[in-house]
Structure formats: structure tokens, C-alpha cells
């Protein structure tokens, strides 16, 4: 009824001979013979590689035939159903595939509740074929729909036992395997003749309405790494600067120390002369640069001097006024 019975329409052949007998040109036996052979011919059929034919006699299962050319008794006696057995069949759950392979989400199927009471979007595909053509043909009504329903139910059960976080990250393969096993057990219990080949989890993610919050966690991770990386980079700079400072200070001190030792060595040779010379040379430079005011304080009270007027022009004017 719902199944695709390959009944060929040769049945009319049986009913008619009595009426067509009055023909003038062709004698009745020839017409009857042609119709009979034609009727018999409807029983010839071929089975392709990977297919199996199931033959019923008076509605009762009689035999199965494999690839090749075969014959069964014509219509009122036997009927056949050719089933593709090894061909991979597929069902999609949680989404629909459009003509251009574009994917459209089916929220009623794809949104599932997890064991920790979150909602996850699951889209998956199942591949199956037929391990028992007779069982597939006669045991379960609408076997394809049944496979799809069992798949969704199994997935929901598996998802309901797990936590959101692992589902969308590390446990995808485990989910696939559990669903496959659960499906196979159930379908075997129905004696459906179906062999589940693979459960392919195409999408396991947070639902679209909250996906931005999930993405923000990823972004936060990136930002945190950036901060740490920047700090690492600064560390190198800070340490190098400090090392530079240390080396600089030590070397300068060493240099200055050596300079002092050298001067001191000379000083020991002629202390007074060296001391005077150092003093005068230094003062020479200092006074040359500075704004020198010579003031005799022996008069007792310090006279008020309009310092401004006496101050030489500093820095820039210095060389002129000095020479």
C-alpha cells in the first residue's frame, strides 16, 4: 500500500478472452496466446548489484533473490518488491538542505536541552542501509520516518545526559557513538532490518540567540592572552633596561675610580702644586661660566647691591663679555 510494490499491470490479460473472441482477421487462439505470453513476461525482472528482491506468493513471503535476471509468477500469484540494500540512505535532523545545498535550521528539531539545563543547537545526519530486506519490507510501517524519529529521540536522550560545555567541545565523538549505539539497539528491538552506519554531528553549538555571549568568551580568552603577551614583551624591555643601567653605572664608576687613582698618583708626586692647579683650573672654568661678583665685606655692613644691573648676560652673551 504505502510501499512501492513493483506490480506490473498485466492483470487485465486474465479477464478478457471471452469478449475479444469475435474478431474476424486474427483467430482467437493467437490473441489469447499473445496475451498469455505477455502476461507471463510481466514476471521477468532484474535485480541490480546492491539490491535484493523480496517475492511474496499470495501475499506471503516466499523468497529473496539477489542480483541478476529472475522470474516470478505473474500478478495474482506472486508480487515482488526490489529494495536497495547496500546503498547508503540518509536522514537529516535539525536542519533542511535546500536545492543549492544551503542549510536551513529547523529549531523544533535542533534545539535540545542538556543535562545541566542549558539549550544546545544540534544538527546531525545519519547514514544507514538495510541489513535485512524482508524485515525492512514487512516489520515496521514507514521505516524511513521511524529511523529519523528514533535518531532524534536517541540524540535527545544522549544530550540530556551530558553537560553543555563538553558537548560543544570535547565530547562530540562520544555523542556520535552513543547515539549510534542507542539507535541500533532500538531499531533492532523493532526488528526493522536497519543497519545504522554512521551518526555525523554536523553542528553542536550554543543556540543562535546566545551565540554572541559564547563568542565573547572566546574573545575574552584572546584578549587575556594579548594582555599576558604584552606583559611578557614589557618584561624583556624592563629587564634589559635594568641590566643596561647596572652595566652603565658599574662601568662609569670603574672609569671614574680609575681616573681618581690616576690623578691621585700624580698628586702624590707633587701634592701642593697639583692641588693648587686643580683648584685654579676648576675655579677658572666655574667663574668663567658663572656670574662673578666680587664683594669686599670688610666694611662691616653688607651694602645693598642692585644685582640685576651687575649681572652679565648669561649663557649666550657670555663669550662676548668675557673675552
Residues numbered 176 to 215 that lie near other proteins (CB under 8 A) are 186, 189-192, 206-207, 209-210, 213-214
| Residues 110 and 122 sit within 8 Å (Cβ to Cβ) | yes
Q: Which three cell numbers stand for residue 50?
A: 546492491
72-111 binders of other proteins (CB under 8 A) = 111
CB-based contacts of 121: which residues, under 8 Å, 6+ apart? 94, 105, 110, 111, 112, 203, 204, 205, 206, 207, 208
Q: Tell me: does residue 10 bind other proteins (CB under 8 A).
A: no
Nearest partner of 75 among 53, 59, 51, 52, judged by Cα: 59
As beta bridge partners, residue 198 has 127
Query: Minimal distance in Å, beta carbon 183 to other proteins?
Result: 11
Torsion of CA 23, 24, 29, 31, to 10 degrees: -50
Q: Which is nearer to other proteins, 9 or 22 (CB)?
A: 22
Q: CA 3 to CA 211: how far, in whole Å?
A: 43
**Residue in 98, 307, 320, 323 binding other proteins, rule: CB under 8 A:** 307
Element (H, E) at 64: strand 60-65
Of residues 89 and 162, the one with the C-beta less far from other proteins? 162
Whole-number minimum distance, CB 155 to other proteins, in Å? 10
Which residue, 28 or 289, is less far from other proteins as judged by CB?
289
* Selected range binding other proteins among 28-36, 94-102, 170-178, 245-253, rule: CB under 8 A: 245-253
Stretch that binds other proteins, among 36-44, 82-90, 167-175, 307-315 (CB under 8 A): 307-315
Determine the size of the site formed for other proteins (CB under 8 A).
Answer: 109
Amino acid at each position: 500500500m504505502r510501499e512501492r510494490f513493483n506490480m506490473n499491470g498485466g492483470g487485465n490479460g486474465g479477464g478478457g478472452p471471452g469478449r475479444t473472441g469475435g474478431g474476424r482477421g486474427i483467430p482467437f487462439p493467437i490473441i489469447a496466446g499473445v496475451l498469455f505470453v505477455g502476461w507471463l513476461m510481466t514476471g521477468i525482472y532484474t535485480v541490480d548489484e546492491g539490491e535484493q528482491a523480496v517475492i511474496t506468493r499470495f501475499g506471503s513471503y516466499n523468497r529473496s533473490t539477489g542480483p541478476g535476471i529472475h522470474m516470478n509468477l505473474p500478478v495474482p500469484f506472486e508480487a515482488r518488491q526490489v529494495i536497495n540494500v547496500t546503498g547508503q540512505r540518509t536522514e537529516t535532523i535539525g536542519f533542511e538542505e535546500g536545492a543549492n545545498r544551503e542549510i536551513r535550521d529547523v529549531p523544533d528539531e535542533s534545539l535540545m536541552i542538556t543535562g545541566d539545563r542549558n539549550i544546545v543547537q544540534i544538527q546531525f545526519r545519519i547514514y544507514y542501509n538495510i541489513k535485512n530486506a524482508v524485515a525492512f519490507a514487512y516489520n515496521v510501517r514507514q521505516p524511513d520516518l521511524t529511523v529519523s524519529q528514533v535518531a532524534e529521540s536517541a540524540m535527545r536522550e544522549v544530550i540530556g545526559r551530558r553537560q553543555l560545555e563538553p558537548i560543544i567541545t570535547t565530547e562530540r565523538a562520544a555523542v556520535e557513538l552513543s547515539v549510534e549505539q542507542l539507535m541500533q539497539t532500538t531499531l533492532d528491538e523493532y526488528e526493522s532490518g536497519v543497519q545504522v552506519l554512521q551518526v555525523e554531528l554536523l553542528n553542536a553549538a550554543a543556540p543562535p540567540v546566545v551565540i554572541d555571549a559564547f563568542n565573547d568568551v572566546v574573545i575574552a580568552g584572546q584578549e587575556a592572552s594579548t594582555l599576558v603577551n604584552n606583559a611578557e614583551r614589557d618584561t624583556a624591555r624592563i629587564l634589559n633596561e635594568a641590566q643596561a643601567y647596572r652595566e652603565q653605572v658599574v662601568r662609569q664608576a670603574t672609569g671614574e675610580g680609575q681616573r681618581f687613582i690616576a690623578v691621585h698618583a700624580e698628586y702624590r708626586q707633587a701634592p701642593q702644586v697639583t692641588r693648587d692647579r686643580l683648584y685654579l683650573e676648576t675655579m677658572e672654568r666655574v667663574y668663567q661660566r658663572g656670574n662673578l661678583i666680587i664683594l669686599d665685606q670688610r666694611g662691616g655692613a653688607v651694602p645693598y647691591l642692585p644685582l640685576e644691573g651687575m649681572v652679565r648676560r648669561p649663557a649666550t652673551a657670555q663669550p662676548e663679555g668675557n673675552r
